[in-house]
Amino acid sequence: MTRSARPTAAVLGGGISGLCAAIALRQRGWDAVVFEETESVVVGAGITIWANGLSGLDVLGVADDVRAAAGDMTLVRIVDWRGRELMRQRSEAGTLVALHRRDLNAALLAALPDDVVHTQTSATVVDAKRGVVEADGREQQYDLVVAADGVHSETRTRWWPEAGGERDCGIRAWRAVVDGAAAEALTVWCPAGECGILPLPDDTTYVFGASRGRARDAGLAYFDDWVEPVPSLLREIDEPIVHDLTDLDPVRRPVKGRTVLIGDAAHALRPHLGQGAGLSIEDAVVLGQHCSSSGRFDGEGFAKARRRRWAAVSLLARRASSVMMPTNPVFGATHRLAPLMPDRLMMGAVDRIAGWRA
């Protein structure tokens, strides 16, 4: 193997966590290469980024570009499926934004040299301990391998069998960006479903629906009698991105030798908190903080720094699922009691999660 004077890293996966990791490593003096098996990394529907994620993007030097491409969510009304207001989520300007995922990925891609990201290139960890990766039919050893290959991570399945697999949440989700700007940011709850409506800057709207049980089998027709503009916007979707949602118990020991799991490969969340992107951005920033310019990776320090954070956010995401789409009558009472409680009390746990700073 020909080695450069700079430490080397292979990043498996060109999603949010992978691109952010490459930026963070380059800031620390590493040569990083990203392997992505799909044709393009500039894809997806909509996404929200909270203050914690924006703090990480500030460190990576791309937050201004992301904010410029995003809509500011200073007020999000939360209502039930009939339109009764449950609470209001207020945020300071610039601390909660929504944007097209392709615009986020484009901003991250622009922060990297052209030769860093290799699309349509599958990569496999051949030896996790030694940091050996096979890509394009060649094996190469790296000082660090970052497995950012998503919830279906082949790296985790092969090298972390003790971590267990994905868990079916019993929820199906539909996501799309449609033409026309919604009048307001809105989240709609129902015992068997949830819908989000987030206006974006370019006269478009990010809309998503999710449902469980028999409602899931009804598809988007389940939302036909919900409060407007839910049914109208969902009817605008030509080809939604459809997922049967899974989550993952956070991997307690995400480092093996020279290989580390980050992002959804390490802690895939239910989407109800909108923290999937934020937590992945955090991972990349903290990863960079534990890599020295000499090529040393403090894997134990990284794991210690992230373990409790992953566990706390994962637990809260599962509880949020029970509150928003309750199967238990006790949790279902939240929809009836929410209008009687102060908004800040209801949103307190979410605000604490978003309070992380790089």
The 10 Å Cβ neighbour count of residue 80 is 18
- pTM equals 0.92
Q: Could you tell me the two tokens for 293?
A: 């310019």
Query: Tell me, what's the pLDDT at 345?
Result: 46
Query: Tell me, what's the pLDDT at 4?
Result: 56
CB of 276 within 8 A of CB of 205?
Answer: no
**Best CA proximity match to 229, nearest among 244, 207, 213, 251:** 207
Query: Tell me, what's the pLDDT at 347?
Result: 61
Give the separation between CA 186 and CA 189, rounded to whole angstroms.
10
Give the separation between CA 131 and CA 55, rounded to whole angstroms.
30
What radius of gyration, in Å, describes the C-alpha atoms of the chain? Answer: 20
**49 strand-pairing partners:** 97
Per-residue pLDDT of the chain (358 residues; tens, 9 = 90+): 445 589 999 999 999 999 999 999 999 999 999 999 999 999 989 999 999 999 999 999 999 999 999 999 999 999 999 999 999 999 999 999 999 999 999 999 999 999 999 999 999 999 999 999 999 999 999 999 999 999 999 999 999 999 988 999 999 999 999 999 999 999 999 989 999 999 999 899 999 999 999 999 999 999 999 999 999 999 999 889 999 999 999 999 999 999 999 999 999 998 888 899 999 999 999 999 999 999 999 999 999 999 999 999 999 998 888 777 766 554 455 555 454 444 454 467 788 899 999 9
Place of tokens 């009472």: 333
Query: Tell me, what's the pLDDT at 273?
Result: 86
Query: Tell me, what's the pLDDT at 321?
Result: 81
CB of 262 within 8 A of CB of 248?
Answer: no
**Best CA proximity match to 133, nearest among 268, 20, 32:** 32
Q: Provide the b/e sequence for 213-234 (b: ≥16 CB within 10 Å).
A: eebbeeebebbeebbebbbebb
